């Protein structure tokens, strides 16, 4: 009898489970875009746990080291005492640069997925920075997949593969670090086949029409944004929509870069506006759209950028200007730099220092002391402007973690421009960037 009862219970139980499953399936198949996103994100979350085993240690890094100033170690990052270097020498306690500046702006670093697969580097990044930028992996030559594009056979829709950027995106998500999306539309590191009929990679293959190219641009931007916003919701807070579109030395109208610039060649001069239009269409409302460039403090370039951004702002398409700031110890001079920051601030947009590094030809004590002073002067200026609200500086990103991996450090021309050495030890430059009392101010 009991057996029969148990049998009936079990059948009722199974029936109920079947009903709820059916209900769930029909809800999700009816689901709107949001529903699809949620399902995808969940799937991704499972994959993340499986695939990022090699990063699990780094995932816990932030909790262990409690670094960002608001979790019990305020003293270490306190701005009251500028004795970070001596504290480090005495006790080995290293202040966190993003902790020190946490109430002014984010402090970021450019890196590759390869970097953060090294536990020690991942740990250092998670403890020092609250923003990261992929040095390369979100550029078109990394994100576009030609084989899949050819297979799809759609002249208007190139196909992407974000596999290269996944490591950094997962790392950012798991560690609660924000990311700058760098970069959607750029004349460089973008394959020519993106612009040709049939995605042909022959060097002389003809270009598609402006209309087809605009569809390709829209589809490219849409896919990249949808991918990261679906799978890594909330990670990217700023997009470099267009990079380096001004090159006044080329003498073209409005200072536009035209040489070797397929975007300009195939779409025409409004390619910048169109890129921002599509980016606005697909970005999450809280994501900020940036125009990013180098040499932004050179007068002729400054005025061309100002005009371009002013027009975009008038159309509600842009939120900020990225000043790359690849500097030298003596260049640019401070007056030009201050002038540029204040001039751009007139537009009322955010300013982010997106690629800061300072070329330093050797690692002698003398050169490195100059480098430290230069960082101190630059950071104190940026902090002052940001605090006074004179310039809305919301991020300062260093272009690389360690000297040996810097793009400036080449076999034929070495450079030691960053805050950490190849052994991940903080350099005097690090303490300069913290405005430490041990570093000269001029
Ligand atoms: C430019 C680009 C960056 C990077 C640097 C050099 O500034 O915006 O992505 O390529 O050059 O490393």
pLDDT in tens, 44-68: 322 222 223 344 343 334 443 344 4
What is the pTM for the complete model shown? 0.85
pLDDT-derived band at 75 (thresholds 50, 70, 90) equals low
397 lines ligand 1 (CB under 6 A): no
243 lines ligand 1 (CB under 6 A): yes
- Ligand 1 pocket test, pick from 142, 183, 355, 415 with the greatest ligand atom count within 8 Å of Cβ, gives 355
Using alpha carbons, list the distances in angstroms from residue 353 to 106, 243, 333: 10, 14, 16
Q: What is the CA(180)–ligand 1 centre distance, in A?
A: 13
324 lines ligand 1 (CB under 6 A): yes
Going by alpha carbons, the residue nearest to atom 12 of ligand 1 is 407
Return the minimum-mean-pLDDT range out of 44-58, 183-197, 319-333, 393-407. Answer: 44-58
pLDDT in tens, 332-362: 999 999 999 999 999 999 999 999 999 999 9
291 lines ligand 1 (CB under 6 A): no
pLDDT in tens, 81-124: 799 999 999 999 999 999 999 999 999 999 999 999 999 999 99
Q: What is the CA(136)–ligand 1 centre distance, in A?
A: 8
Q: What pLDDT is recorded for position 80?
A: 73
Query: Partners of 359 in the beta sheet?
Result: 328
**Does the structure show a pLDDT above 90 at 41?**
no
Q: What is the DSSP letter of 103?
A: T
Q: What pLDDT is recorded for position 77?
A: 86
CB 190 within 8 A of CB 141: yes
Q: What pLDDT is recorded for position 293?
A: 98
Return the minimum-mean-pLDDT range out of 16-25, 167-176, 260-269, 285-294. Answer: 16-25
Using alpha carbons, list the distances in angstroms from residue 11 to 3, 4, 104: 12, 11, 62
Q: Tell me the mean pLDDT in the region 204-223.
A: 98
pLDDT-derived band at 76 (thresholds 50, 70, 90) equals confident
Q: List the catalytic residues.
A: 244, 355
Q: Which atom of ligand 1 is found nearest the CA of 294?
A: 7
142 lines ligand 1 (CB under 6 A): no
DSSP 382-425: HHHHHHHTSS-EEEEEES-SBGGG-TT-BTTB----SSB-TTS-
Q: Which atom of ligand 1 is found nearest the CA of 399?
A: 12
Dist CA 194 CA 147 (whole Å): 12
Q: What percent of the chain has pLDDT over 90?
A: 81
355 lines ligand 1 (CB under 6 A): yes
Dist CA 322 CA 312 (whole Å): 14
Surface-to-core class of residue 372, CB atoms within 10 Å of its CB (0-12 exposed, 13-18 middle, 19+ buried): buried
Between 28 and 79, where is the model more confident? Answer: 79
229 lines ligand 1 (CB under 6 A): no
Please give the span between the terminal C-alpha atoms of the chain, in angstroms, as a whole number: 93
Q: Which atom of ligand 1 is found nearest the CA of 407?
A: 12
């Amino acid at each position: 009898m009991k057996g029969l009862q148990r049998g009936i219970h079990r059948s009722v139980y199974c029936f109920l489970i079947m009903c709820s499953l059916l209900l769930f399936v029909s809800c999700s198949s009816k689901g709107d875009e949001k529903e699809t996103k949620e399902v995808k994100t969940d799937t991704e979350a499972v994959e993340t746990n499986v695939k990022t085993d090699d990063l699990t240690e780094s995932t816990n890094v932030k909790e262990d080291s409690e670094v960002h100033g608001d979790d019990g170690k305020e003293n270490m990052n306190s701005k009251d005492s500028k004795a970070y270097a001596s504290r480090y020498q005495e006790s080995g306690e290293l202040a966190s640069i993003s902790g020190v500046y946490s109430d002014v702006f984010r402090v970021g670093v450019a890196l590759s997925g390869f970097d953060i697969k090294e536990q020690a580097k991942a740990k250092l990044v998670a403890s020092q920075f609250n923003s990261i930028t992929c040095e390369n992996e979100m550029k078109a030559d990394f994100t576009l997949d030609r084989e899949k594009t050819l297979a799809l056979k759609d002249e208007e829709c190139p196909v992407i593969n974000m596999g290269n950027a996944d490591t950094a995106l997962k790392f950012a998500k798991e560690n609660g670090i924000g990311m700058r999306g760098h970069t959607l539309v750029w004349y460089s590191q973008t394959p020519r086949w993106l612009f040709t009929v049939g995605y042909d990679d022959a060097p002389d293959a003809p270009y598609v029409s402006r209309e087809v190219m605009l569809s390709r641009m829209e589809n490219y931007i849409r896919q990249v944004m949808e991918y990261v916003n679906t799978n890594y919701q909330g990670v990217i807070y700023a997009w470099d929509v267009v990079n380096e579109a001004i090159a006044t030395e080329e003498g073209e109208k409005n200072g536009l870069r035209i040489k070797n610039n397929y975007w300009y060649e195939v779409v025409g001069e409004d390619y910048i506006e169109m890129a921002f239009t599509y980016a606005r269409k697909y970005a999450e409302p809280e994501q900020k759209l940036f125009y990013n460039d180098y040499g932004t403090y050179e007068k002729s370039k400054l005025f061309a950028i100002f005009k371009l951004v002013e027009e975009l702002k008038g159309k509600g398409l842009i939120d900020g200007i990225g000043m790359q700031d690849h500097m030298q110890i003596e260049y640019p001079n401070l007056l030009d730099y201050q002038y540029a920051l204040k001039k751009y601030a007139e537009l009322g947009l955010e300013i982010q220092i997106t690629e800061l590094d300072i070329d330093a030809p050797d690692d002698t004590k003398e050169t490195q002391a100059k480098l430290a002073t230069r960082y101190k002067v630059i950071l104190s200026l940026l902090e002052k402007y940001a605090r006074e609200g004179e310039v809305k500086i919301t991020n300062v990103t260093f272009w690389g973690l360690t000297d040996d991996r810097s793009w400036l450090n080449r076999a034929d021309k070495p450079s030691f421009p960053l805050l950490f050495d190849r052994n991940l030890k903080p350099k005097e430059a690090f303490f300069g960037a913290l405005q430490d009392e041990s570093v000269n101010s001029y």
